[in-house]
Amino acid sequence: MRRLVKIALVFAVLLLVMAGCSGKKKADSLKIEEKVVPVKITFPKVGNVEKSLTFTGTLEGIDDAYIFADLPGRFIKYLKPEGSEVKKDEAIALLERQVPGLEFKPVPVKSTLDGILSHMDLSPGELVAPQVPIARVAKIDRLKINFTVPERYAENVKPNQVVRIVNPEDVRDTLSGTVSWVASFLDPVSHTRDARVIVQNISHKLRPGMFVRMSLVIDRAESVLTVPYSSVIFNDTSYVFVASGGIARQKPILVGTTDWKVYEVKAGLKETDSVLIIGQGIVEDGQKIEIITEGAR
């Protein structure tokens, strides 16, 4: 009998301990639910959104040629420095013919077109064969940029579209170019489509050989409601969190065009909604929040 009483007492004590643990867990759970998360908010704004694609390429002269000597000889000197403008049939270098027993006047090497001199790599005394280029001459009033378009965007790039080109020597300076040609088919190996841009370069700010970045607008939304790109969360659907009476509320929205800075909001928000821009990744629907700063309306 005493043994049964002892067993009953032990069992009762275990029940009390378990009940205490359960109560502590419930209390901890309540504390978590009551936790107040500091957040920052902003308000949706009306603006324009442009979605653009970015490409890179190397500038080339449209009229561009290497200059060769007609006969072999020993290089004497260049007549103009690199970067100089030359005219067609103007001498750009001198060669010395070397034939035993004979003397020749220095032989001029002439440009075959108007343009800018470059690739002047020879040194005095070098032997020059007819297949060795003396220099390169390119017209730079108009330049071309060959580039490739990934398959997923292949249908977005078409002839006559305007392209913005960033001057690599001054990123604040942009020039306009035009898509002049797009290949009819994709490359079966790289799954890209070749394309070409022509850029007017009357000011000669750009030079052949420069590596440039260019952007092409493929979608534009004007005077639309927008929210910061980072405020939108995707999980099967798109939604944001809005502040309402000190509580975070999950609000489904329909988004449109993005420029990777903001999203166009097609439905689900008003200009007066307080959208979370800091803290939206850690709150849950119904969570208590404290607004520490807010953006301009």
pLDDT tens digit string along 187-199?
A: 999 999 999 999 9
Instruction: Please give the Cα distance from 67 to 60 (Å, whole number).
Output: 16
Which pLDDT value is given to residue 290?
A: 95
pLDDT tens digit string along 116-150?
A: 999 999 999 999 999 999 999 999 999 999 999 99
Residue 28 lies inside a defined structural domain of this protein = no
- 127 against 2, higher pLDDT: 127
Does 235 lie in the same domain as 173? Answer: no
Buried-state track 199-210, b at ≥16 Cβ within 10 A, e below 16: bebeeeebbbeb
Instruction: Please give the Cα distance from 257 to 234 (Å, whole number).
Output: 15
Question: In the chain, what percentage of residues exceed pLDDT 90?
Answer: 74
Find how far residue 135's CA is from the centre of its chain: 35
Least confident of 18-27, 75-84, 130-139, 156-165: 18-27
Torsion of CA 9, 14, 15, 19, to 10 degrees: 140
Strands 174-182 and 133-138: unpaired
Does 287 lie in the same domain as 227? Answer: yes
Cβ atoms of 44 and 231 closer than 8 Å: no
230-to-100, 141, 190, 285 alpha-carbon distances in Å: 78, 43, 32, 18
Which pLDDT value is given to residue 281?
A: 95
Examine the pLDDT at 222 and tell me if it is beyond 90.
yes
Boundary of a domain, candidates 181, 206, 221:
221
Torsion of CA 109, 111, 116, 120, to 10 degrees: -30
As given in the structure block, the two tokens for residue 8 are 């009953």
Residue 19 lies inside a defined structural domain of this protein = no
Predicted TM-score (pTM) of the model is 0.64
| CATH at residue 237 | 2.40.420.20
Place 84 in a pLDDT band, splitting at 50, 70 and 90: very high
Instruction: Please give the Cα distance from 45 to 162 (Å, whole number).
Output: 28
Within 13 Å and on the Cβ side, how many CA atoms surround 141? 4
Number of structural domains (the chain) is 3
Q: What one-character DSSP code corresponds to residue 288? A: B
Residue 3 lies inside a defined structural domain of this protein = no
Examine the pLDDT at 56 and tell me if it is beyond 90.
yes
Which pLDDT value is given to residue 278?
A: 96
Examine the pLDDT at 295 and tell me if it is beyond 60.
no
As given in the structure block, the two tokens for residue 222 are 């004007």
Residue 8 lies inside a defined structural domain of this protein = no
Domain encompassing residue 242 = 37-50+222-291
Does 227 lie in the same domain as 196? Answer: no
Does 188 lie in the same domain as 233? Answer: no
The average confidence (pLDDT) of the chain is 88
Residue 75 lies inside a defined structural domain of this protein = yes
Question: In the chain, what percentage of residues exceed pLDDT 70?
Answer: 86
Residue 115 lies inside a defined structural domain of this protein = yes
Does 146 lie in the same domain as 124? Answer: no
Boundary of a domain, candidates 199, 221, 243:
221
143-to-29, 147, 161, 166, 173 alpha-carbon distances in Å: 67, 13, 16, 14, 17
Residue 252 lies inside a defined structural domain of this protein = yes
| CATH at residue 110 | 2.40.50.100
Closest CA relative to residue 227, chosen from 276, 167, 182, 192? 276
pLDDT tens digit string along 3-42?
A: 544 555 545 545 554 555 555 444 444 444 578 999 999 9
Q: What one-character DSSP code corresponds to residue 105? A: P
Q: What is the mean pLDDT of residues 85-94?
A: 96
Any bridge partners for residue 150, and if so which?
A: 192
Residue 242 lies inside a defined structural domain of this protein = yes
Boundary of a domain, candidates 120, 138, 156:
138
Which pLDDT value is given to residue 296?
A: 54
